[in-house]
Structure 1
Amino acid sequence: MNMVEAERRLLANALMDISNERFVLLSESCIPLFNFSTVYDYLINSTKSFVESYDLPGPVGRGRYSKMMSPLITLEQWRKGSQWFEVDRFLAIEVITDQTYYPVFWQYCKNDCYGDEHYLPTFVDMNFPTRNAYKTLTYVDWSKGGPHPNRFRREEVTEEFLKKLRTSSQCYYNERIVNVCHLFARKFSPNSLDKLLRFAPIVMNF
């Protein structure tokens, strides 16, 4: 739960600037797939926040649930999702002021329970489902299996590859189907930076 505590502190500090309306958590291996104005417009005009949240049977989903969380949180309400999220100001305030669910997670989500993959997905699904798009804006490649997503190496970074990441899927945005579903992507290795800088002006119009 130390990661969740860190996320709450980051949100609390960002909320101190009253001009901030949207809050995005990214990792050091993330890259933007679009230029700033496109990302800004996508977020500021969205009617939803973007917190991935789903029910996952098995050891890395429901298997991490503790019966000690009941009756406040039941197994049927337990959710999993990506730790990379985007929330609006309303949800950010709700997260940092939560004194009901967070203490339960702090007490019982330990050892093999990773709070950053369960707290926000469960909290948002239980309390604010209509405000959530139920997806992450950060693309990851899980095709190789294992506990961690694929790390993109320098030789994989091409103009065609970046274009594919930008528009390779369809999703709902403000109740209409669009082909821009991810604004960011991970994991990129540090040695791919020079190629990313080379292709960014071409692909992303930086």
Structure 2
Amino acid sequence: MQPRVSSLEEGKDATIKPQGRVLPLNLIKFLLLFMALGLVFSVISMYTTRYLGTQNTLPSVHSGYLPCFKESNNFQRWIRPPSNLMHSMTDEELFWRASFVPQLKKYPFKRVPKVAFMFLTKGPLPLSPLWDKFLEGHEGLYSIYIHSLPSYHADSPPTSVFYRRQIPSKVSEWGKMSMCDAERRLLANALLDISNEWFVLVSESCIPLFNFSIIYKYLFRSRYSFVGAFDDPGPHGRGRYNPNMVPEVNVTNWRKGAQWFEVNRKIAVSIVEDTKYYPKFNDFCRPACYVDEHYFPTMLTIEAPQLIANRTITWVDWSRGGPHPGTFGKADITEAFINRILEDNTCLYNNQPTSICFLFARKFAPSALEPLLEIAPKVLGYG
């Protein structure tokens, strides 16, 4: 009986042992095949990334650098005026940027010098149709800048020279430093256009007394900027001086002048870059010291007396008395009235006597527009 048992056990071992040898071998073969396929795919993937992938990305990298080579005429961005007058610069940033001055006097491009007309106003420009007539046909020789109250939204038509010419503004008050801040802000924005050479400060009530060609030549032939600056020994002159302004400002340098000026680029930069006199006037010239009547005349008398004419070329009428000049409406506007402004004047122009002393006049009410448009072609020479 024992042999039969033995044979059954042997038969059991015979059936089990072969299975134990075959299955692991098949698994090993399968794993080796899987690993081989994985290696092949890895090699293919590396090859594709290194060669095909690089070739696919090279064009995009190359195109990204193209603008750098295309901007060979990058100089244009320095001489091109801002396309949009609205910006986010602070006054400190704006004045710093506007104070840049080229050290080479010769321009490496064809520069056509322009007049920047800078309007300081609370809101509307009721006499703008007259200015449109004055500037008509002289495109490229002038620029327009408007400083109004921040809350005012201009509605000038696209055909007007005043369309989208507002600059970033702040509230300004007559007789306070905020008024001079507004004037400096106008100058700084206008200085960003390298072609602006003369800077004329006017209000919404100002009018041109001659045609554009006469005014343009008068300004560009002048060796001096037109800033009123005179020594008034009375209570409304030296009487407003504060001894705390020494040593920067001495009473002997204290000057008074009209707010409205016409200055060249050199003087405009001097006004914008000032940090020496500004704090003194800001701290010690408070009403009844009216800073807009004293700051620029005094500073320029100290810093550049040889460059200013000590007179303004904006006519006003103080004959009626009071703190403000006379205002003229529709009933006042006649040919005889305009001729009285233009005639019987004598002043110095480039150190020589002349009868043309005023190029602009104020103050004119909105009602004066219609009669001014009627007489402008005959009396003023434009329109």
Q: Which residue does the alignment assign to 2:256?
A: 80
Runs of 4+ in 1 over 4 A off after TM superposition: none
The answer on 1:40 being equivalent to 2:40 is no
Pick the structure with more helix per residue: 2
Secondary structure of the structure 1 residue equivalent to 2:203: coil
Give the structure 2 partner of residue 112 of structure 1. 288
1:14 and 1:168 map into 2 onto residues whose CA distance is 34
* Structure 1 residues 133-172: aligned runs within 5 Å: 133-172=309-348
Aligned mate of 1:65, from 241, 251, 256:
241
Cα distance in 2 between the residues matched to 1:202 and 1:47:
30
Distance in 2 (CA, whole Å) between partners of 1:52 and 1:105 is 18
Q: Which residue number in structure 2 is paired with residue 5 of structure 1?
A: 181
Tell me the distance in 1 between the aligned counterparts of 2:373 and 2:344.
21
Task: Report SS of the residue matched to 1:25.
Answer: strand
- Give the number of equivalent residue pairs: 206
Are residue 197 (structure 1) and residue 373 (structure 2) matched?
A: yes
Q: Distance in 1 between matches of 2:363 and 2:357?
A: 17
CA distances 1:57-84 after superposition (whole Å, capped 9, x unpaired): 2222112111110121111111110000
Q: Distance in 1 between matches of 2:236 and 2:353?
A: 31
Matched residue type, 1:140:
V
Partner of 1:125: 301
Question: What is the distance in 2 between the residues matched to 1:46 and 1:183?
Answer: 13
Deviates more, 1:56-65 or 1:17-26: 56-65
2:353 is paired with a residue whose SS is strand
Q: Match of 1:118, SS?
A: helix
| Deviation, structure 1 residue 176 | 1.5
**Mapped partners of 1:193, 1:103: distance in 2:** 41
* Residue 189 of structure 2 corresponds to residue 20 of structure 1: no
Give the letter aligned to residue 158 of structure 1.
T
What secondary structure does 2:299 align onto? helix
Backbone CA RMSD of aligned residues: 1.0
Distance 1:57 1:175 in 2: 25
Q: What is the Cα deviation at residue 106 of structure 1?
A: 1.3
Secondary structure of the 1:21 match is strand
148-157 or 188-197: bigger deviation: 148-157
2:353 is equivalent to residue 177 of structure 1: yes
Is this contact kept in 2: 1:142–1:149, CA < 8 A?
Answer: yes
Partner Cα distance (1:161, 1:111) in 2: 35
Question: What percentage of residue pairs aligned between the two structures are identical?
Answer: 52
Task: Name the aligned partner's letter for residue 102 of structure 1.
Answer: Y
Give the letter aligned to residue 138 of structure 1.
T
Q: For 2:277 and 2:226, how far apart are their aligned partners in 1?
A: 20
Offset from partner CA, 1:147-181 (integer Å, 9 cap, x none): 11111122111112112212330111112111100
- 1:109 deviates by 1.4
Contact kept in structure 2, 1:167 and 1:181, CA below 8 Å: no
TM-score (norm 2): 0.53
**TM-score, with length taken from structure 1:** 0.96
- Provide Cα deviations, 1:118-150, integer angstroms capped at 9, x if missing partner: 000001111111111110010011112111111
Write the letter of the residue equivalent to 1:155.
A
Q: What is the alpha-carbon distance in structure 2 between the residues aligned to residue 205 and residue 133 of structure 1?
A: 26
Give, in whole Å, the separation in 2 of the partners of 1:152 and 1:126: 36
Compute the displacement of 1:4 (Å).
Answer: 0.7
**Structure ranking higher on relative contact order (CA contacts 8 Å, 6+ apart):** 1
For residues 126 and 76 of structure 1, what CA distance do their matches in structure 2 show? Answer: 10
Cα distance in 2 for residues equivalent to 1:167 and 1:200 = 16
Amino acid at match of 2:322: G
